[in-house]
Amino acid sequence: MTRPIVEKASDDVFAVDPSIKARRRENMLVTALRAGLFVVVLGAWEFASGTIINSFWVSSPTQIFLAFIEMMKSGALLRAVFATTLVAAAGFALGILIGIGLGVLFGINRVVARVLDPYLTGLYSLPRVALVPLFILWFGLGFEMKVIFTALLVFFPIFMNTLAGIRDVDDDLIDVIRVMGASRRDTILKVLVPSALAWVFAGLRISVPFALIGAVVAEMFSSSQGLGYLISNTANQFDTAGLFAALAVTTLLGLALDWLVALVERRVLRWQHKRH
């Protein structure tokens, strides 16, 4: 009979914990302010369109919503979202594999890192958009070119964060596990990679927008489908409402992909979130 009473008392303590209540109030305030700011911006935009600024240049929330409905009815928007998501996901996965692989390789082999570092730095300093015509020449106008270009944008944040995470591992920890008889493979898989996971996921969060940007930019140059093509096509037709609608959907897709990566991060690094 005492155990339920103890558990109930414990629940009551946590329920009235001032820090928890303060955090909840802060979350509610932030949510309310975000919603209020969104409504104010839309209202000001709607008012300014056609009165202060010509609606041809900025359209209006009402016209954008109508353009969005029209795109949904025609099916063009859903097809574009699917095509862009497919390219972004494939490029994201490829960039992750190469970025983590090279990040681990450079992290455990300083000679390789010192040899290749200036080449990677030089490639990183290039404006990647300027490489699209070259990629078209090499890989054509198909799906492969868009995926490879997207992977290139994703690669660098993943690589740099993985490398930083590997180098951040305490050398004493590595020495201890080797003294205990761990092989080089065990050291990499059981110490280096798990210790660098927080850095890797930080790189993933940074790379999500790059994956979407890479897909959209590649589609603008070389595709007849996808959000990039939809943005380019509406711009060429001076359809401001359609252009803003495509941009809004692209933004929402980026937020959805970021939320998905954050969800995976919370599941994989559950121990770290519990600690904090």
CB atoms within 10 A of CB 274: 7
Give residue for tokens 């799906």: 143
Is 189 a residue whose pLDDT tops 90? no
How much of the chain, in percent, has pLDDT values that exceed 70?
85
Structure confidence by residue, pLDDT tens digits, 59-118? 889 999 999 999 999 888 999 999 999 999 999 999 999 998 888 888 877 787 788 878
Under the banding of pLDDT at 50, 70 and 90, the label for residue 245 is very high
For residue 36 the two structure tokens come to 């209020």
Spatial neighbors of 163 by CB under 8 A, at least 6 apart, are 103, 106, 107, 113
pLDDT of residue 222: 79
Residue 21 or residue 5, greater confidence: 21
To 5 degrees, how large is the angle CA 61–CA 67–CA 230? 115
| Interatomic CA distance for residues 97 and 249, integer angstroms | 28
Average pLDDT of every residue of the chain: 82
Average pLDDT estimate for 252-270: 84
To 5 degrees, how large is the angle CA 103–CA 105–CA 107? 65
Is 153 a residue whose pLDDT tops 50? yes
Residue 183 or residue 129, greater confidence: 129
Phi-psi region of 8 (alpha: psi -120 to 50; beta: other; left: phi over 0): alpha
The verdict on pTM exceeding 0.85 is no
Residue 173 or residue 234, greater confidence: 234
